[in-house]
Amino acid sequence: MLADHQGWLSTKLGAMTAPLDATTPTTVLVLNGPNLNRLGTRDPDVYGNGSLEDLRVALTAEELPGVRIDLRQTNDEGELIGWLHDAIDSRTPVILNPAAFTHYSYALRDAAAMLTQAGMLLVEVHLSNPHAREEFRHTSVISAVATGVIAGFGFDSYLLALALIAKRLG
Ligand code: DQA
């Protein structure tokens, strides 16, 4: 069960990537930061019982025409930054749960800023609502450079982000 934190959603009208074309699917990168490989067993009261694999299944089950999901997780800040660089080069929209990096990684923020400045959509997502938790979680160094933020809805944070990206691309 997810904690009964009040959901928090904010979106900024932002950039566009190439329109969807069912013949050449657009990849949506779903990037997950540290400790999210432990989903399912880590603090289920906060993060729910679903695993990262369950999340991949839920996103793929959306079967949005012209959209391909590429879900990844790393505990390594440099690897996550490298994936954002790749997304810039390949012009790929990103759903990003930066996990604890949210709160202090200026290096990740700079990479995220390059992505949105290049015109890509970047939706920051969180399973929990960080604003309803410890004070150190109230700061996101990513949000100001993201296209928008969805937090507090468990896996639905990701599904909402995917729907938004598909809508913007469609
Ligand atoms: C999180 C919230 C972060 O504060 C935390 O460090 C995480 C997960 C979330 O999805 O709710 O690892 O990003």
Structure tokens at 138: 């109230």
CA 2 vs. chain centroid, Å, equals: 18
Q: Is 138 a catalytic residue?
A: no
- Atom of ligand 1 at shortest distance to CA of 137? 4
Tens of pLDDT, residue by residue over 136-170, are 999 999 999 999 999 999 999 999 999 999 999 87
Alpha-carbon distance values, 135 to 58, 84, 132, 138 (Å): 31, 27, 9, 5
The DSSP secondary-structure symbol of 120 reads: -
105 lines ligand 1 (CB under 6 A): no
126 lines ligand 1 (CB under 6 A): yes
29 lines ligand 1 (CB under 6 A): no
Tens of pLDDT, residue by residue over 24-57, are 789 999 999 999 999 999 999 999 999 999 999 9
Tens of pLDDT, residue by residue over 69-80, are 999 999 999 999
Alpha-carbon distance values, 163 to 65, 78, 169 (Å): 11, 28, 10
- Atom of ligand 1 at shortest distance to CA of 36? 12
For the segment 55-70, the average pLDDT, to the nearest whole number, is: 94
**Which segments within the chain are labelled E, that is strand?**
8-11, 26-32, 67-73, 94-97, 122-126, 148-151
The domains located in the chain, with CATH, are 1-6+20-25+32-101+124-133 (3.40.50.9100)
